[in-house]
Amino acid sequence: MRLKITLTLLIILLGLLTYIFYIDPWSSRLQLEGEDDNALASLAVDIDYLRIYDNAKNRALTLEKTENDWMLTEPFLWQANTFAVERILTQLQFLDTKVTFAVDRIDQTGSSLAEYGLAPPSLTLEFGSSGSRYSIGIGKATDLGNHLYLISFDKTKIHVVDRSLLDSLSIDIESLRSPRIFRSNIFEVDSWNLQLQDNLRTRVTKNENIWTIETPINTRADSIEVNTLLGKLLELKSLRVLQPTPADLRLYGLQQPSLRIAIESDQSREALEVGNPISPTDPLIRYGKLENRNTVFEIELDYLPELEKAQTNLRDRRIFEIDTAYATSVSFEKGGSESFSLQKLETDEWEILIPDEEQGFMREKGSNEAVKDALDWLNKVKAIASPISSGFVHDAPTAADLETYGLEVPEYSIHIASGRLKDRTEESKTPKVETLLFGDLHSGDRTLRYVKLAESDFVYLVSNDILEMVPDVLFQYQSRRLYEIPGDATINKLSITRLSNEETLLDTSIEDSNLPLELVDSLTPLEVKSYLFDQYTSNVSIAGKRQSWAYLMSVTFQWASADTGHSKSVELYVSELTGGPLLLGGSIDRNSVFEFRQPFIDGFSSVVFDRIKRPVPEEPFDSDLPLPSGGEEHASPDTEQQ
């Protein structure tokens, strides 16, 4: 019994000795106070300098915080990967200390710093802020647990910390640097330029969010194209660093770069120099370097052809600088003299001004719809790229050049005054006038026509199809209301006659109480879709075939004015129904031929189709039977084929 007690006491004594000599050097420090929970404590706050030195590889990485961002300054100057740096800073700020013991206690245990991997340390981390510098050493991993040893900056303490710190500090340099070449944001860029090896420059600048090409010529830029290409450039990435300190830039084609891209903002100027292809088989993978830096890296420019043609691709192809949607007047000139003008009134209505020797001008009500359609088409006139031309023909033509294009003495021109420029939101104090001059058709492609603005030198090739959509004759701008009848006028009598056999299809009056309401609604007032001819003709061409008028419609309007009754009778000639959205009309009174609108087509068709006998096939069609010969007639003798 005494032996058992003695052995038990001996075991307890050995345990106490083990605790005192082996565990106490750590456990005596386990009572950490406040800031000692973090091995670095307040030193890890507001760090703006980091240097990681790998003793085994004799390699150093230095990071410094600038005014805007972190920069890698060693072994070469480069923008740092913000996420990788923030991960290191987070590890340092929240470095959890598991155990801390004093360096001077190591001798008591018969150990040394080398046994902890701290003489010398595998990694040395130098950090600080506002000019202060502190250096800590990182040793080997502990035998148990996922931890490692760290010696304090004053070399008096050893901390046992989480191994994740080593993982953050052991990051590869390619992961520590940002792959982006340009740091600017697209909204910050004020100007940028491209310079090719042959010294061909393209400079683009921004003023109030409007891009302008300054060189090689001063002209408007296409903001969409500019922002698209600029966005690609700002997202350009370096694939890998090839040579931090090249001995001879000529080996990479960077002594005289084939392309230089410079991007400027209020805050900075950045320039990329592009050299030779890395491989002859892939001309899009190139050597590159930043201006005033020697580091050579690899880039991929899969849109290199776009950059080489930037001065053409970035130009605004729209001919007019003014926005024709805000036009206040339009004048048409043929043979050097004004034919007629359109003027916008304060009521937003358009009127036609016709030159007159006695009165100066005769005024006539115009069609808002016709003018708007014409201005919309004029807004779409732009330089057309084709196999024969980029659309930009000549930027500084001589008189001989203009004569070649038919622009020295143009036969036709349109003057437009507008109160607003394209892509602007503010109104101009005074309207700006631009004159579109029409030249000859291109000899190699008759769908293209030479044009230019009288106020500038540039000559363009544009689509003649669009120009032909702009009417150049007065009658097509006349009011679409066929007859000026008071708004309270009603239809008193309506009749429709089929002209081929004088058959009366409809003859009714207001007393009969059976007027076709849909047709009546389309007649009060009667507005046509467009005018086709300014002279009445007895026949019209439909689907390439000349046809006489098929119907005669007589309408009598009546209205009251100052206790006096008024009436007006009109006659309209109508073409044959085609079953489609096309129905033509003619008026002897108005001396015109025109196209009806859809409401009239619907109302007229419902009346006429309900009253015309149609031939009914005697038997169903059989596809196996041969078709009748061209000379056979199958129309019913008492009906007429439509």
- Report helix, strand or coil for 456: coil
On whether the CB atoms of residues 491 and 556 are closer than 8 A, the answer is: yes
Asked if the structure places residue 424 within a domain, the reply is: yes
Domain boundary pick from 477, 512, 547: 477
Contact 320, 379 (CB under 8 A): yes
The residue whose two tokens read 């000859």 is 440
119 shares its domain with 216: no
- Cβ count near 139 (within 10 Å): 23
352/426 same-domain check: yes
Contact by Cβ (8 Å): 186, 234: yes
Q: Please indicate, yes or no, whether residues 288 and 351 belong to a single structural domain of this protein.
A: no
CA angle 333, 338, 344 (to 5 degrees): 90
Phi, psi of 140 (to 5 degrees): -90, 175
Domain hosting 451: range is 324-477
Q: What span, in angstroms and rounded, lies between the C-alpha atoms of 65 and 46?
A: 10
Quote the DSSP letter at residue 221. Answer: B
The pLDDT score that the predictor gives to residue 22 is 52
128 and 37 in a single domain? The answer is: yes
- In this structure, the chain runs to a length of 642
pLDDT of 562 reads: 57
The reply to whether 30 and 172 lie within a common domain is yes
Q: Answer whether 562's CB lies under 8 Å from 545's CB.
A: no
What tens digit of pLDDT does each residue of 211-245 get? 999 999 999 999 999 999 999 999 999 999 999 88
pLDDT at 152: 86
Peptide bond connecting 75 to the previous residue in cis, omega within 30 degrees of 0: yes
Q: CA nearest 453: which of 324, 311, 314, 309?
A: 324
DSSP code at position 100:
E
pLDDT of residue 378: 96
Say what the pLDDT of residue 626 is.
Answer: 52
Domain termination residue (choose one: 313, 335, 356): 313
Domain count of the fold of the chain: 4
pLDDT, position 300: 92
Listing DSSP states for 38-94 in one string gives BSSGGGGTT--EEEEEETTTTEEEEEEE-SSSEEEEESS-EEB-HHHHHHHHHHHHT
Whether residue 164 sits in one domain with residue 72: yes
With contact defined as beta carbons under 8 Å apart, do 170 and 283 qualify? no
The reply to whether 444 and 520 lie within a common domain is: no
Please write the tens of the pLDDT for every residue from 45-56.
Answer: 889 999 999 888
| Residues in CB range of 207: below 8 A, 6 or more apart | none
- The reply to whether 566 falls in a domain is yes
Low-confidence ranges of the chain (pLDDT < 50): 24-35, 612-614, 616-617, 621, 623, 625, 627-642
* pLDDT score, position 567: 87
Domain closes at, from 116, 150, 176:
176
In a domain, 4, yes or no: no
Contact at 8 Å (CB) between 39 and 156?
no
Residues 37 and 90 in one domain: yes
Query: ∠32-33-37 over CA atoms, to 5°?
Result: 65
Rounded to two decimals, what is the model's pTM? 0.75
Residue 485 lies inside a defined structural domain of this protein: no
